[in-house]
Copies of this chain bind each other. A is one copy, B any other.
Amino acid sequence: MASEKKKKRPRSEPTSDSEEPDWDPPSRSKSRPSNPSSSSSSNKALSFKKLLKPDSAILDTLKKLYDSHHQNPNPNPNPTSLSDLSLPFPCREVSDLPPSSVERAIESTILAAASSILSGAGFSFSVPGRGPSNQLYVPELDRIVLKDKSSSRSFSSLSTVRKAAVTARILSLIHQLCLKNIHVTKRDLFYTDVKLFGDQSQSDTVLDDVSCMLGCTRSSLNVVASEKGVVVGRLVFSDDGDRIDCTKMGVGGKAIPPNIDRVSDLESDALFILLVEKDAAFMRLAEDRFYNRFPCIIVTAKGQPDVATRLFLRKMKTELRLPVLALVDSDPYGLKILSVYMCGSKNMSYDSSNLTTPDIKWLGIRPSDLDKYHIPEQCRLAMTEQDIKTGRDLLEEDFVKKNPGWVEELGLMVKTKQKAEIQALSSFGFQYLSEVYLPLKIQQQDWL
Please give the distance in Å from A187's CB to the nearest CB on chain B: 5
Contact bitstring A180-196, B, C-beta under 8 A = 1, else 0: 10111101111111110
- 9 pairs of A and B residues whose beta carbons are closest in the complex: A239-B250, A252-B257, A191-B426, A240-B250, A195-B378, A242-B248, A194-B378, A252-B255, A185-B280
CA gap between A421 and B251 in the complex, in Å: 33
Contacts of A230 in B (CB 8 A): 227, 255
Contacts of A424 in B (CB 8 A): 191
Interface residues on A, range: 35 or more
CB of A233 within 8 Å of the partner chain? no
CB of A423 within 8 Å of the partner chain? yes
Contact call B251/A254, Cβ cutoff below 8 A: no
Which residue on chain B has the smallest CB distance to residue A425? B191
Please give the distance in Å from A373's CB to the nearest CB on chain B: 13
From 255 to 269 in chain A, residues with beta carbon under 8 angstroms from any chain B beta carbon are 255-259, 262
Contacts of A255 in B (CB 8 A): 230, 249, 252-255
CB of A6 within 8 Å of the partner chain? no
Which residue on chain B has the smallest CB distance to residue A177? B430
Contacts of A224 in B (CB 8 A): 283
CA gap between A239 and B286 in the complex, in Å: 11
Contact call B242/A430, Cβ cutoff below 8 A: no
Listed A/B pairs (25) with beta-carbon separation below 8 Å: A182-B430, A182-B431, A183-B251, A184-B280, A184-B426, A187-B421, A187-B423, A188-B423, A188-B430, A190-B423, A191-B379, A191-B426, A193-B427, A194-B427, A224-B283, A226-B302, A241-B250, A242-B249, A242-B250, A243-B248, A250-B257, A252-B255, A254-B254, A258-B283, A259-B287
Contact call A287/B251, Cβ cutoff below 8 A: no
CB of A38 within 8 Å of the partner chain? yes
Please give the distance in Å from A305's CB to the nearest CB on chain B: 16
CB of A138 within 8 Å of the partner chain? no
Report which residue of A257, A262, A426 has the largest number of chain B beta carbons within 10 angstroms of its beta carbon: A426
CB of A376 within 8 Å of the partner chain? yes
Which residue on chain B has the smallest CB distance to residue A184? B430
Given A184-B426, A188-B423, A287 contacting B240 (CB threshold 8 A) = yes
CB of A244 within 8 Å of the partner chain? yes
Which residue on chain B has the smallest CB distance to residue A186? B280
Contact call B257/A239, Cβ cutoff below 8 A: no
CB of A238 within 8 Å of the partner chain? yes
By DSSP majority rule, is chain A's interface helix, strand, loop, or mixed? Answer: mixed
Contact call A183/B283, Cβ cutoff below 8 A: yes
CA gap between A378 and B191 in the complex, in Å: 9
Please give the distance in Å from A266's CB to the nearest CB on chain B: 13
CA gap between A68 and B424 in the complex, in Å: 52
Report which residue of A188, A259, A302 has the largest number of chain B beta carbons within 10 angstroms of its beta carbon: A188
CA gap between A302 and B193 in the complex, in Å: 24
Contacts of A387 in B (CB 8 A): none
Which residue on chain B has the smallest CB distance to residue A238? B250
Please give the distance in Å from A429's CB to the nearest CB on chain B: 8
CA gap between A259 and B177 in the complex, in Å: 38
CA gap between A430 and B8 in the complex, in Å: 63
Contacts of A238 in B (CB 8 A): 250
CB of A446 within 8 Å of the partner chain? no
CB of A284 within 8 Å of the partner chain? yes
Contact call B226/A279, Cβ cutoff below 8 A: yes
Knowing that A254-B254, A254-B255 are A-B contacts, what are 9 other residue pairs whose CB atoms are under 8 Å apart, sorted by A's residue number? Answer: A38-B193, A180-B430, A184-B280, A191-B421, A192-B430, A224-B283, A226-B302, A251-B257, A251-B259
Of the candidates B191, B258, B280, the one whose C-beta lies within 8 Å of that of A252 is: B258
CA gap between A3 and B227 in the complex, in Å: 33
